[in-house]
Each structure stands twice: as structure tokens, then as C-alpha cells.
Amino acid sequence: MVIHYNLDNFNASNAVFTIGSFDGVHLGHQKVIAEIIKYAHQINGESVLLVFWPHPREILSPLGKNIRLLQTIDERISALEQTGIDHLIVFPFTLEFSKLNACSFIENIVYQKIKAKHFFIGFNQRFGSDRIWSPDILQECAGVWNIRIHQLSELLHQSVNISSTQIRDHLFKGEVRLASQLLGYKYNIKGKVVKGRQLGRKLGFPTANISLNDSVKIIPADGVYVIEGKVAQKYHQGMMNIGIRPTINGVDKTLEAHFFDFDGDIYDKNIEICFVDRLRNEMKFNNLKELQDQLHKDKEKARQKFNKNYQILISPDSYKGTLNSLDAAQIIEQALKKSLNNRVRTVIAPLADGGEGSIDILKHHLPDLHKIHVKVRDALMHEISTYYFADLISDTAFIEIAKVIGLNKLSPLEQNPLFTSSYGVGQLITDALKKMFGTIVLFTGGSSTNDAALGILKALGAEISGEFEGEIPTGFELEKVRKISNIPSLKARLIIAGDVDNPFTGPEGAVRTYAFQKGATEKSDLEVLENGMQNIQNIIYKQFGIDLNKVKGAGAAGGIAGTMHAVFKSEIINGADFIFKLTQFDKKFENIDLIITGEGSIDWQTMNAKLISRLKTLIQNSNIPIWAIAGHCLDTKKMKILLDLNHVSTLSNNELEKQKAMMRPDKLLFEHVSTEIFRLIHQITI
């Protein structure tokens, strides 16, 4: 994130801009920022956020000098940096600036200084001295400068119905746990430890008196709280009294923290106090003995808050090329039990999203599935032995194309979508049809092919005609195909369960998105494959009247999903959602405190039908925190915000670390979870 304290020489590429105070950078703010970042990515631009300092109320309100906020400006900058925003402008709010009307602001700031083409405004957000809230009126002003106004939808507004004012009110009432839940992290204050009267030491409860660094921060209502104190990067559990100490006839408000099992010297040390929960109101006792007795009761209740047993659901996807889902889940479980000892109960429920390992995950959850062994051709037409599973009760066959034509089945030198075929998948389907299964579910993730399912059709008995050599055209010959005929009638319901929702062709289609991953090496390879896919798209439109670019997920598995949908009227569904339903996964997160998931790579594609995004959707009403562990992720901050997760961490930050991680993934994952779990527990309320 680039921080700008003035707009001189400001420069951002294709800026997508928004404005606000963003006090607290709470969960609602994070959803708004995610929309800005997402849109900037879609148009190949940069996200720009402007915050005012001092707070406008401090300048405009008669009581402004007494304003109390959730964050200092430095804390706000630090929190906004964690969102992955590209540019942050800290703009000085003055009385003179407050007189600027909305249209003048758009002209003088948005157009002339920031040069933004896109300006996002909140639902019912008001701008300028004239307090304009209508997006139509704002668009009239912005249109003059070729700026497009985007209003965040009412639906988004309702889903993030959280305000800084609401959180401040909770804190003023002492409701620190509610405030933290809306913030997405434990509310905290910072200060220095100073010497007090040392009365607590005489009572057996030595305390650290805290002098705040900044008077702008909200101090929660008077009372006794469960806290964590962070000194020199170490957390100490304890409790704190905020108030005037009426038992000893105190007058001035103090903040006194007592830490359990700690007797170190922390005078003059900087300290951060994180509020966990509220125990009680401040009380006046008849004598010091009554106060001492109550402190013992407070301490016992506070310890119970920390000594809770965590119930953690472990549900990763596979870490492709290194660890399957079950192995990864078991390693995570071992690390948790070592770190949290007897304070953790784990539920292992490995997952898949329609990609590699999907049918093995089904077998784990549904042990009565029957395994059927078959000999078929792989992507290079070599004979291999493989298998699929069947549910004999529901008369359903579960086929995973990665078992036959998976990219992981080929060496790096063999991987090339120009020359690979899906023929072996057609052989598996043929076997299932011969065994007269009424339903066939085809999991399409992880393929090495880009032949638009022509290999499958050939194996099923269809005729493919054109100017290509041989009988089965592969990716580089798709452009030479002229007709698909003699298509057999499948006497089974065919369901395509995918892990992506890409269109058939185009900038986000099968070729442009995945061909390089599958082994294409030159831009010319992409042109050949894309031209071929467009040819198949045209043939299908002429023969079946279906525009595959209007079919969501048609580009899955190099076009297998789209072609099978058009030719056999098969249904395309989300693989993760299908597995959730089949395994009754929604029943597994009852009484769960934390979900740990993960996969090999977390990136922009993760947002499109992948397991983690679907898992978040499934539990969105439960408020269970989610920690996603990536084998590799270039920007954990941005992905945390975009996926609306509580924490995203990675085992590798660059290509060199990625290669090392793939050599010992088990050891690295174990060590990562062992250390990171403590940081996570401190960060979020669980």
C-alpha cells in the first residue's frame, strides 16, 4: 500500500476511488473495500481510498474536541494496510475544505488530483457541503469529467449493517465482546506502564497502571474486564479494572491491569491491552478484605474464559502435487493437539470442490461406496488402471476425470494441452453405462486437456469429421473440426460437477485462464487453442442452438463441461456445493469455534466457485471464524478481505519458498499451524 499525505504528483493507474472515515476498519468497512479491490482487478486498475484526518466531527461539531474514536490515525493506517488496498490518501480535513460542495469535490479532487474514472459511494452516503446523496445528481457532476459513479447496492448495505457509531456505543456501555465481534478483532488500547500506589501488590494482586498514548481512543465503560496484555511481542492473560477505585475513595479514573502467573518488571514498557470480555461493574466494598475476596472470584472467572476447550473443524482441500485433503487434515490436527494440548477437540472433515481427490473425499465421508476398477487410456493414450466409485443404493457412479487425464498424471515434459485427449474419460463413462447406473456424476477439476470433450464423444461412439489427421482431434486440431455426428443417446442422467465457472471462450475462458497452467508455452499456442474452441463453439451453436459463452462453467476442464452440457443436456453444478450436500456437511459445524481450511494456491481464481469461497457462503450466517492456509499466496492481506475470511496465511511467499515447501509440505504445514494458532486465537474472538 502506498500512503499519500498530499495529492501533489499523485499517480494511480485507472484509479477506482472511494472516500470515508473508516474508523475501526470494521467488518462492514472490509466488505466495502473488498468491492473496490475486486472492481479494480476486473478493469486492471488500482484501488484508491481517501480518509480524513482529523475526523470531520472534530472540526464541525461544537463538541468535536472531545470526540472519542476507535482508532488513532496510525492504527487506522495500519489496519487499512492489512486490507490490500493499493493507495491510501490521508487527507487533511479543514473548515475551509468542509465548505466545498459535492460537484466541486468531484472536479477538484476526484478528477484533477486523483484522475479517477470510477467513484464508489455508499448507499445513502452524503457528499459535500450541500449534502448530496442522490447518485443521479452526482453522476451529472461526474459525467462532465467522464467519471462513473458506482453506488454500493442496498443489498450490500444491509449485509454490512455495521457502523462505527454502533461499535463506539457498545464500548461506552462496556460491551467489549459485542464491539469486537463487529470489528472482526479484539478492541485494544495502547499505553505505557507507570507506577501507581502499589495497593494491588499488598492485596496479592500486583497491577500495572496504564497511561494511554492517545486521548482520542475510547476507554470502555468503568468495570472489570478480561484482557490480554501484549508486551514485547508476548501476550499475558489477565484482568483489568477501569474506574475511580471507590473502595479507597479514589477520584481520578485509572486503568489497572493484573496479569496471571507473571511477575516481571514491565514499568516504563509499552503495552497493548486487548479486551476479551466484561466481568462486572466497578463496585465499592466495605473494606479491603471484601475487595480481595471479590478479586479472587474475578480471577477465577477470567481464567475460565481463557481455559475453554476449542472445538475446531479441519476441512482443507488438497494441496495439489503435495498433500491430499485427508493427509493435510491429519497433519493440522496433530499440530493443534501438540500446541493446545487437551484444550482442543477436533473434527476432521476433508473436502474437495470437484477437482483432484473428489471421489476419494466422498469415499471418506461415505464408506459404503463401491470401488470399480477399470483399464482406460490416459491423456496421451497410454493404457492405465484406474477406478471410480458407485453408490449401489442410489444407482449413481462418481467419476473423477483427474484420475485419468489429470495434470498430475503427466510429467512436466508431457504436459501440453495441444496434444492431450479426454478419450479415457469417455471409456469410464462407457463402463458406467454398461453397468446401467442411472446417474453419472463427472467431477471435472484438474484436467490436462483442452479438447472440448471431443475425446469423450469419440469414446462414446460419436463421429468427429474434419481435416485433422487420425480419428481423435486434440487441442491443436480443434479448428479443423467440421461436424459432430452419430451422437449416442445416454441412458443415464449426467451431472457435471465443476470447480470453476469460466465461460467457454474469451478473456476468462478455458484457454486464456488455464492453458499455460496445463503446459502451453507460447502465446501462439493460446491462439491455436482459442481459435479451435471458438470453432467448436460455433459448431455447437449451429447443431444444438446453444451459445456456450452464456452457460456458466462451460469452460471447465478445457471445455468438457460445455460440450457435454450441449450434447447430452447434462446439468453443470458446483462441485463443492454438491459434496457439501451429499456429505451433509452443514451438520458438522454445529458448536464449532473455528474452521481451518486451505488449498495449494489461494488467488483470484479462489473467488470463482472454488472450495474456500463456497465454504464461506455455506456458513455465512453462523459467524464461525475461518482460517485458510495456502500452500502459496502472493497477497494474503488482499485475499483475506476479498474472501471475507478471518485469517489467511501462506506456507510460501515466493517461487523459491514454494519449491522448498513442496519438498517437505508435511513438516512445514505442521510447524506453521503449531505457531500460527496462538496468533490467531489472540487476533479473533472465538
Beta strands in 456-566 (DSSP E): 463-466, 481-485, 493-498
Q: What gap in Å lies between CA 576 and CA 497, rounded to an integer?
A: 8
Q: What gap in Å lies between CA 127 and CA 106, rounded to an integer?
A: 10
Return the closest-CA partner of residue 242 out of 257, 230, 229. Answer: 257
127 bridge partner residues: 132
Q: Catalytic: 256?
A: yes
Is the backbone peptide bond immediately before 92 cis, with ω within 30 degrees of 0?
A: no
DSSP three-state, residue 319? strand
Q: What count of other Cβ atoms lies within 10 Å of the Cβ of residue 362?
A: 22
Could you tell me how far CA 128 lies from the centroid of its own chain?
A: 35
Residues 6+ positions from 617 with CB-CB distance below 8 Å:
none
Tell me how far CA of residue 562 lies from CA of 131, 320, 493, 569, 675, in angstroms: 50, 25, 16, 10, 44
Return the closest-CA partner of residue 183 out of 115, 119, 274. Answer: 274
Four-residue CA torsion sign, 545, 549, 550, 552: positive
What cell numbers appear for 140 in the block?
A: 451529472
Q: What gap in Å lies between CA 456 and CA 484, rounded to an integer?
A: 12
Q: What gap in Å lies between CA 317 and CA 246, rounded to an integer?
A: 56
Tell me how far CA of residue 97 lies from CA of 53, 100, 127, 177, in angstroms: 12, 6, 12, 37
Four-residue CA torsion sign, 548, 551, 556, 561: negative
Contact 221, 242 (CB under 8 A): yes
Q: What count of other Cβ atoms lies within 10 Å of the Cβ of residue 550?
A: 9
Instruction: Work out the end-to-end distance of the chain between its first and last CA atoms, rounded to an integer number of angstroms.
Output: 29
Contact 610, 616 (CB under 8 A): no
Which of 35, 256, 333, 400 is the catalytic position? 256
Contact 449, 405 (CB under 8 A): yes
Q: What gap in Å lies between CA 27 and CA 516, rounded to an integer?
A: 37
Contact 207, 299 (CB under 8 A): no
DSSP classification of residue 20: E
| Residue with cell string 493443534 | 336
Return the closest-CA partner of residue 215 out of 53, 94, 67, 79. Answer: 67
Return the closest-CA partner of residue 28 out of 136, 150, 182, 160. Answer: 160
171 phi and psi angles, rounded to 5 deg: -70, -40
The 10 Å CB-count burial string (b at 16+, else e) for 115-152 is: bbbbbbbbbebebbeeebbebeebbebbeebebebbbb
DSSP three-state, residue 22? coil
Contact 680, 672 (CB under 8 A): no
Active-site positions read: 256
